[in-house]
A and B are shown apart, each in its own frame.
Chain A
Amino acid sequence: MRVRDVMRILDATLLTGEDKLDQEIEAACGCDLISDLLAFTKARMLVLTGLVTPQIIRAAEMMDLLGIVFVRGKKPTPDILAMAAEAGIPVLCTSYPLYESAGLLFEAGLRGRCAWPQAGGDPHDACGGTRDAP
Chain B
Amino acid sequence: MLLECPVTGEDFQAAGEAAARLKRTLRQLGIDAATARRAAIVAYEAEMNIVIHAFRGVLSVDISPERIEILADDEGPGIPDIALAMQEGYSTAPEYIREMGFGAGLGLPNMRRYSDEFHIESTVGRGTSVRMVINVPSKGSLA
Closest to B43 in A: A62
Alpha-carbon gap, A56 to B142, bound state (A)? 30
B55 interfacial by beta-carbon distance below 8 Å: no
B29 interfacial by beta-carbon distance below 8 Å: no
Query: Are B107 and A134 closer than 8 Å at their CB atoms?
Result: no
* Across-interface contacts of B142 in A (CB, < 8 A): 134
A98 interfacial by beta-carbon distance below 8 Å: no
A114 interfacial by beta-carbon distance below 8 Å: no
A51 interfacial by beta-carbon distance below 8 Å: yes
Cross-interface CB contact of B101 among A43, A56, A134, cutoff 8 Å: A56
Closest to A36 in B: B104
Query: Are B33 and A55 closer than 8 Å at their CB atoms?
Result: no
- Could you tell me the distance in whole angstroms from the C-beta of B36 to the nearest C-beta in chain A? 9
Q: For chain A residues 55-94, which have a beta carbon within 8 Å of chain B?
A: 55-56, 58-59, 61-64
Cross-interface CB contact of A119 among B32, B45, B88, cutoff 8 Å: B88
The main secondary structure of chain A at its interface with chain B is: loop
* Across-interface contacts of B143 in A (CB, < 8 A): 131, 133
Q: How many A-B residue pairs have CB under 8 A?
A: 92
* Across-interface contacts of B12 in A (CB, < 8 A): 55
B1 interfacial by beta-carbon distance below 8 Å: no
Query: Are A134 and B32 closer than 8 Å at their CB atoms?
Result: yes
Query: Are A55 and B15 closer than 8 Å at their CB atoms?
Result: yes
A123 interfacial by beta-carbon distance below 8 Å: yes
Please judge, given known A-B contacts A36-B104, A55-B16, A123-B114, whether A41 and B33 are in contact too, CB under 8 Å: no
* Across-interface contacts of A59 in B (CB, < 8 A): 16, 44
* Across-interface contacts of B13 in A (CB, < 8 A): 54
- Could you tell me the distance in whole angstroms from the C-beta of A14 to the nearest C-beta in chain B? 23
* Across-interface contacts of B35 in A (CB, < 8 A): 130
Query: Are B16 and A35 closer than 8 Å at their CB atoms?
Result: no
Query: Are A130 and B38 closer than 8 Å at their CB atoms?
Result: yes
A128 interfacial by beta-carbon distance below 8 Å: yes
A108 interfacial by beta-carbon distance below 8 Å: no
Query: Are A39 and B20 closer than 8 Å at their CB atoms?
Result: no
Query: Are A41 and B37 closer than 8 Å at their CB atoms?
Result: yes
Query: Are A63 and B20 closer than 8 Å at their CB atoms?
Result: no
24 contacts between A and B (CB under 8 A): A33-B104, A34-B102, A34-B104, A35-B102, A35-B104, A38-B44, A38-B106, A41-B34, A41-B41, A41-B114, A51-B101, A55-B12, A55-B100, A55-B102, A58-B15, A58-B19, A58-B20, A62-B40, A62-B44, A128-B114, A132-B34, A133-B143, A134-B33, A134-B34
A residues in contact (CB < 8 Å) with B: 32-36, 38-39, 41, 43, 51, 53-56, 58-59, 61-64, 117, 119, 123, 126, 128, 130-134
